[in-house]
Amino acid sequence: MTTGLRTRSGAHWLIFFVIACLVVVLDQIAKAWLVANVSPGDVVSVVGDYLRLVFHQNSGALFGLFRDNAVLFGLVSLGVVGLIVAYHARAGRSLYLSIALGLLLGGAIGNLIDRLRLGYVVDFVDMGLGDLRFFTFNVADAAITTAILMMVGAALFPALQRLGERPADSERPADSERPADG
């Protein structure tokens, strides 16, 4: 029996989709603001030289690799989105995994929207010291990185996967076995 977005497996579908949607909305709002207020290549200092906003058009993949393949990466991203949803369906009752996979889905969709709409991904967060800089990234990239770190954490410490886990349907008492209120 299914109720709303919760299936027999007890997956946290609502949380999964809400997190994904929040990441997409925040990512697209941040990118829209940047595009409207900063010219490509301009540098806006946020915290001195440590944290800056730089409008960068990334036509490649992760860290700017394989440039000028937006259509190919768009198609690959569509496949990845399908795999993330399928994996979540099989991930069981873990709130931890639902959050991680929601972040991953939102990040994948946020960058997919850019690739399909613009032909490149808008990157803008630039961190570092002087000439020693981290790769420029965006909200979607930060969500993807957080999700990957959470997944690695779950692989190293399996107990994390059980955080917020729902009991299985077979472990819950049937309606006739539940104590009456009152």
Distance CA 66, CA 50 (A): 28
Catalytic residues: 123, 141
Given a contact cutoff of 8 angstroms between Cβ atoms, the answer to whether 25 and 143 are in contact is no
Given a contact cutoff of 8 angstroms between Cβ atoms, the answer to whether 17 and 104 are in contact is no
Compute CA distances 15 → 18, 40, 73, 106, 179, whole Å.
5, 36, 27, 12, 29
How many C-beta neighbours within 10 Å does residue 176 have? Answer: 5
